[in-house]
A and B are shown apart, each in its own frame.
Chain A
Amino acid sequence: MSHNQLDSLIRMVNQIAANNGAYQTEEAAQRVASHIQRFWARSMKTLIMDYYHEGGEDLSPIARLAVAQLAQPKEAIS
């Protein structure tokens, strides 16, 4: 795992969370998770979920909730 690549992903997910910050925490996290589900490649999701499982200390609170949701079964997005 490259540190730069992971740093990039952490920054990305935190940025997505910040841009959904106007919503209530639960809805914000759901929106962030949905966004990642729709737009991130499988390898990127795996990297960020691994990081979360290792503690994910640099994830913002909303980002942390969102990454936790990624582990749940996905639904098709039309």
Chain B
Amino acid sequence: MRVETFNPDKDYGTPASVSETLVTIEVDGVEVTVPDGTSVMRAAAQADINIPKLCATDSLESFGSCRLCAVQIEGHRGYPASCTTTVYDGMKVTTQNEKLGKLRRNVMELYISDHPLDCLTCPANGNCELQDMAGDVGLREVRYGYSGENHLDSEKDESNPYFSFDPSKCIVCSRCVRACEETQGTFALTIDGRGFDSKVSAGQNEAFMDSECVSCGACVQACPTSTLMEKSIIDMGQPEHSVITTCAYCGVGCSFKAEMKGDKVVNMVPYKGGDANHGHSCVKGRFAFGYATHKDRIKSPMIRNAINEPWQEVSWEEAYAFAAEKLKGIQAKYGRDSVGGITSSRCTNEEAYLVQKLVRTAFGNNNTDTCARVCHSPTGYGLKVTMGESAGTQNFDSVMKSDVIVVIGANPTDAHPVFGSMMRRRLREGAELIVADPRHIDLLKSPHLKKAQHLALKPGTNVALINAIAHVVVTEGLEDQAFVEKRCDMDSYNAWREFIKQDRHSPESVEAVTGVAAEAIRRAAITYAKAENGAIYYGLGVTEHSQGSTMVMGIANLAMATGNIGREGVGVNPLRGQNNVQGSCDMGSFPHELPGYQHVSNAEARAHFEQVWGVPIDDEPGLRIPNMFDSAIAGSFKALYVQGEDIAQSDPGTQHVETALRALECLIVQDLFLNETAKFAHVLLPGSSFLEKNGTFTNAERRINRVRKVMPAVAGKEDWEITMDLSNALGYPMHYNHPSEIMDEIASLTPTFTGVNYQRLDELGSIQWPCNDDNPVGMPTMHVDDFPIGKGRFSVTEYVATDEKTNSRFPLLLTTGRILSQYNVGAQTRRTNNQVWHDEDRLDLHPHDAEVRGIKEDDWVGITSRAGQTVLRARITDKVLPGVVYTTFHHPGSGANVITTDSSDWATNCPEYKVTAVQVERVSQPSEWQQNFRSFEALQLKLLQGKTQTQTEAEAK
């Protein structure tokens, strides 16, 4: 007897059944036990009996069109398709005999009679299911000949930069169409025509690039022939080996097979065994990996004494010695606290850990911070205060058990596309959607979305809204009293309840503040509270506000009050922006916390680290990033080590940031490229991409995934090696042979990581922390029985309006965000073909706001705030509300952060990117900042080539 097993490299033909009832059948005399509802094809595959197939693949529901998988079943007439026939107890199946062989050969003959016979020159040669099946069924002749009516002259569609569509090779199995529907949820493809004229069509018979296709690659992955084929494979041929690793884009943390030819990446294929993505991908992870070998990569360490001097290429040793001498000199002159470091959410856990360790040991202070400061620091604060752990409560799969999905300030289909697709699948199954967002996000346009509510609130009013929702829950008696009494601290609950039931929080009272009709708020509150499983997902539209932390606490309050914590389908789920935001926070990057969120004032925790690190640790918090900038301008902060972050582009108030960076006597930047920050640097240490190193990333569901090196580091060193070498040059010895040794040290010092090591990661594939003696394989759902702080704590969440208010001078509210094809500051995606989708940042404004200002589509418009001015081209759209304008920040010359202000979250200083009062008007030339930016950029590129400023100026003349 055999039971269900799962090998991610095998195609079982149809999806697994989730039934707990087991059924035993006999396939070709072999007994197989599988869950009820399993297809005959999958059951046979479990016994390593592989029935020929073309239209079936286990990522898609069975379709039954190709007829190649016909079998015989005892007691049944005919030849049922094994993909669409489900098992029953005692079933006896025959998969191979003469009749079945003849039937399959007949089917294959028909397919091949209308298929080019160019196998030897076909890019799919060696990896073609049609070719394999022809071999499997023993096809030896095509009696119909090849001269009849056919599709061999069909025109190729080469419009997509990453894959081609060659209809002459299409067998119309519909796998691509179904993948677009079932896997991606976009419904961009269809079968056009009938019978012999049937053909796959993008949109309304459009080119792929003109259709709604989002280039996720699901169709390419599903195609059993070379009809949909990666251009990289067409150019380079089939890969010869592969390595499983983790995507370095968003916080979903998709697993990929890096398919290789020697040390060249041919293709990135989403890995079916990936616990976060289950074989799906988006356009960034799937295709946008070319930046790793882009000509702009910095390949040698460089130094200079001043930012108007040419860069000088030096050896690694010279660069370390130069940096160490500067840092030590500065500390000797200005004091121990005059230097600091910034870790990156784009780097690995091990790298973030080493940077904060270097700061706390070699620098001897706590001046370490991370880019999570500007995205999810309020999540860390708010969830720690209320539920005792700075992390989301669920795994991604949990959404498939949600009945009501609340999305607040997040745009999953653009920013977390693979999870967005999973969410859409659940919505198609009937879950109800509530979106709280000033913009009409694409999730609201999901095909086959059944029930949706959109609370289009004014930017900056989140807390008023969440309080009103909680008010309805309390005053309508919709709380889960049993949960609250058993699981929550009653003093905090009673204080919160008294606060929230006050009439000033009622939907009617806040209607004018939020701009959302009271009735809509009431309806949403009742929908969420009455759901069997209500889940909240949120993003930067929650955190990047002056009350980001308050809003996170408000969300946690609401989830606890309604008992939506501690089981699958519910929870509080922050959608982290970058790939390792969770990990960089876990690793002690914040200035007040050691790894594992252990406060620096905790003597017991400190002693533990001091024993292992061998130096005393400061018991006072260090400076946060904005405090570093202020201190630099004030003259007390003089040197900064930045690993893998571009603070000059990503942080708010660009002029302020630039002033701070210019004030530094030593700026050390470790990065792939000469990014905007590096233009102010004195030491440039060439970093390594995710393809060039070993380590781990931790995604938004606390899942620790392995990053595996697939090619040599372009500049010769992995980032952890550079930090280690710099520390040694500074006189604090570090020695690791491999990142696994760094993880072992992390595990020895971090209570939630004690069970994590590379061997276990390899065995389990991934681990969701906490992983320790109590949870040896990790914890998919948190807070099932209790909270790390014992009882959940409600927080009083007073709404305090932001200081960033509109008036007659600045009558519009600017909110910023991101789009699908670009990633964060764009350093990676701008150096790929993703540029074809978004080669400039635009300003979205409502038709009404455009009309009153005489602004037309594509006009250049000046956007002026209290902080500064920039100029972008206008895009007129009703996706934004009247009074609200929107832009992205993927291109440095756009200067989106020239206009964002220093307004920030009260608890964490996370910038208020989402609310800036602005005026918009037609202009005819770039802003003064943009003109300065262009000349500074030109100068820095010349200095990169080793030219002096004088030479550069002479050339300019």
Which A residues are closer than 8 A to B by beta carbons?
A: 1-2, 4-5, 8, 12, 15-16, 18-23, 35, 38-44, 74, 76-78
Q: Which 5 A-B pairs have the closest CB atoms?
A: A2-B634, A22-B798, A5-B634, A15-B906, A42-B620
Whether B499 lies near A22 (C-beta < 8 A) is: yes
Bound state CA distance, A76 and B907, in angstroms? Answer: 19
For residues 535 through 551 of chain B, which have their beta carbon under 8 Å from a beta carbon of chain A?
Answer: 546-547, 550
Whether B907 lies near A77 (C-beta < 8 A) is: no
- Choose the segment among B62-70, B203-211, B622-630 that binds chain A (4+ C-beta atoms closer than 8 Å): B622-630
Min CB gap A19→B, angstroms: 4
Bound state CA distance, A8 and B633, in angstroms? Answer: 12
Whether A12 lies near B620 (C-beta < 8 A) is: no
Whether A8 lies near B902 (C-beta < 8 A) is: yes
Whether B800 lies near A41 (C-beta < 8 A) is: no
- Choose the segment among B3-11, B253-261, B598-606 that binds chain A (4+ C-beta atoms closer than 8 Å): B598-606
Query: A44-B627, A76-B603 given. 9 additional CB < 8 A pairs?
Result: A4-B633, A5-B630, A5-B631, A19-B798, A20-B798, A23-B796, A38-B599, A41-B337, A41-B624
**Which among B624, B627, B798, B909 is the interface contact of A21 at CB below 8 angstroms?**
B798
Whether B337 lies near A1 (C-beta < 8 A) is: no
Among residues of B, the one whose C-beta sits closest to the C-beta of A78 is B602
Contacts of A2 in B (CB 8 A): 630, 633-635
Contact with A along B626-650 (1 / 0, CB 8 A): 1100110111100000000000000
Min CB gap B449→A, angstroms: 36
Contacts of A12 in B (CB 8 A): 906, 909
Contacts of A39 in B (CB 8 A): 592, 621, 624, 907-908
**B591 interface hit (Cβ, 8 Å):** yes
Given contacts A16-B906, A22-B798, contact A8 B622 (CB under 8 A): no
Whether A16 lies near B601 (C-beta < 8 A) is: no
Min CB gap A70→B, angstroms: 12
Bound state CA distance, A44 and B633, in angstroms? Answer: 14
Min CB gap B367→A, angstroms: 8
Contact with A along B496-530 (1 / 0, CB 8 A): 00010000000000000000000000000000000
List 20 contacting pairs A-B, 8 Å CB cutoff, sorted by A: A5-B630, A15-B800, A15-B906, A18-B906, A20-B798, A38-B592, A38-B601, A39-B907, A41-B337, A41-B367, A41-B622, A42-B337, A43-B636, A44-B623, A74-B601, A76-B601, A76-B602, A77-B599, A78-B602, A78-B605
Contacts of B908 in A (CB 8 A): 39
Bound state CA distance, A4 and B337, in angstroms? Answer: 19
Whether A19 lies near B800 (C-beta < 8 A) is: yes
**Which among A1, A35, A40, A74 is the interface contact of B634 at CB below 8 angstroms?**
A1
Contacts of B367 in A (CB 8 A): 41
For residues 587 through 610 of chain B, which have their beta carbon under 8 Å from a beta carbon of chain A?
Answer: 591-592, 599, 601-605
Min CB gap A9→B, angstroms: 8
Min CB gap B545→A, angstroms: 12
Contacts of B621 in A (CB 8 A): 38-42
Min CB gap B424→A, angstroms: 36
For residues 233 through 264 of chain B, which have their beta carbon under 8 Å from a beta carbon of chain A?
Answer: none
Contacts of A43 in B (CB 8 A): 337, 623, 631, 636
Min CB gap B99→A, angstroms: 74
Whether B906 lies near A41 (C-beta < 8 A) is: no
Contacts of B620 in A (CB 8 A): 41-42
Among residues of A, the one whose C-beta sits closest to the C-beta of B908 is A39
Bound state CA distance, A1 and B630, in angstroms? Answer: 11
Among residues of B, the one whose C-beta sits closest to the C-beta of A15 is B906
Among residues of B, the one whose C-beta sits closest to the C-beta of A36 is B621
Whether A8 lies near B906 (C-beta < 8 A) is: no
**Which among B546, B550, B627, B633 is the interface contact of A41 at CB below 8 angstroms?**
B627
**Which among A8, A22, A78 is the interface contact of B796 at CB below 8 angstroms?**
A22
Contacts of A42 in B (CB 8 A): 337, 620-621
Contacts of B337 in A (CB 8 A): 41-43
Contacts of B909 in A (CB 8 A): 12
Contacts of A76 in B (CB 8 A): 601-603
Bound state CA distance, A56 and B591, in angstroms? Answer: 27
Min CB gap A25→B, angstroms: 14
Bound state CA distance, A78 and B906, in angstroms? Answer: 21
Bound state CA distance, A22 and B604, in angstroms? Answer: 34
Whether A77 lies near B630 (C-beta < 8 A) is: no
Min CB gap B16→A, angstroms: 45
Among residues of A, the one whose C-beta sits closest to the C-beta of B340 is A41
Whether B906 lies near A77 (C-beta < 8 A) is: no
Given contacts A5-B630, A43-B631, contact A19 B599 (CB under 8 A): no
Whether A4 lies near B630 (C-beta < 8 A) is: yes
Whether A21 lies near B599 (C-beta < 8 A) is: no
Whether A16 lies near B907 (C-beta < 8 A) is: yes
Find the residue from A8, A12, A74 having the highest chain B CB count within 10 A: A8
Contacts of A8 in B (CB 8 A): 626, 630, 902
Find the residue from A5, A12, A20 having the highest chain B CB count within 10 A: A5
Whether A78 lies near B599 (C-beta < 8 A) is: yes
Min CB gap B891→A, angstroms: 29
Bound state CA distance, A20 and B796, in angstroms? Answer: 8
Contacts of A40 in B (CB 8 A): 621
Min CB gap A45→B, angstroms: 8
Contacts of A77 in B (CB 8 A): 599, 601-602
Among residues of A, the one whose C-beta sits closest to the C-beta of B606 is A76
Min CB gap A65→B, angstroms: 17
Find the residue from A16, A74, A76 having the highest chain B CB count within 10 A: A76
Bound state CA distance, A23 and B808, in angstroms? Answer: 34
Bound state CA distance, A74 and B621, in angstroms? Answer: 13
Contacts of A23 in B (CB 8 A): 796
Bound state CA distance, A26 and B694, in angstroms? Answer: 52
Bound state CA distance, A78 and B602, in angstroms? Answer: 5
Contact with A along B314-348 (1 / 0, CB 8 A): 00000000000000000000000100000000000
Contacts of B599 in A (CB 8 A): 38, 77-78
Min CB gap B330→A, angstroms: 16
For residues 333 through 384 of chain B, which have their beta carbon under 8 Å from a beta carbon of chain A?
Answer: 337, 366-367
Among residues of B, the one whose C-beta sits closest to the C-beta of A17 is B906
Contacts of B796 in A (CB 8 A): 22-23
Contacts of A18 in B (CB 8 A): 800, 906
Find the residue from A4, A15, A16, A20 having the highest chain B CB count within 10 A: A15
Contacts of A21 in B (CB 8 A): 798, 800
Bound state CA distance, A10 and B337, in angstroms? Answer: 22
Bound state CA distance, A20 and B604, in angstroms? Answer: 30
Given contacts A1-B634, A4-B634, A16-B907, contact A41 B591 (CB under 8 A): yes
Contacts of B622 in A (CB 8 A): 41
Given contacts A39-B592, A41-B627, A76-B603, contact A19 B633 (CB under 8 A): no
Contacts of B902 in A (CB 8 A): 8
Min CB gap B388→A, angstroms: 12
Bound state CA distance, A40 and B623, in angstroms? Answer: 7
Min CB gap B131→A, angstroms: 63
Whether A19 lies near B547 (C-beta < 8 A) is: yes
Among residues of A, the one whose C-beta sits closest to the C-beta of B495 is A23
Bound state CA distance, A2 and B630, in angstroms? Answer: 8
Among residues of A, the one whose C-beta sits closest to the C-beta of B634 is A2
Find the residue from B337, B627, B902 having the highest chain A CB count within 10 A: B627
Bound state CA distance, A41 and B626, in angstroms? Answer: 12
Min CB gap A20→B, angstroms: 8
Among residues of A, the one whose C-beta sits closest to the C-beta of B620 is A42
**Which among A4, A22, A35, A78 is the interface contact of B907 at CB below 8 angstroms?**
A35
Given contacts A2-B634, A2-B635, A5-B630, contact A19 B550 (CB under 8 A): yes
**Which among A5, A19, A44 is the interface contact of B906 at CB below 8 angstroms?**
A19
Contacts of A35 in B (CB 8 A): 907
Min CB gap A48→B, angstroms: 12
Find the residue from A18, A21, A41 having the highest chain B CB count within 10 A: A41
Bound state CA distance, A16 and B907, in angstroms? Answer: 7
Among residues of B, the one whose C-beta sits closest to the C-beta of A42 is B620
Whether A41 lies near B601 (C-beta < 8 A) is: no
Bound state CA distance, A78 and B606, in angstroms? Answer: 11
Bound state CA distance, A22 and B553, in angstroms? Answer: 15
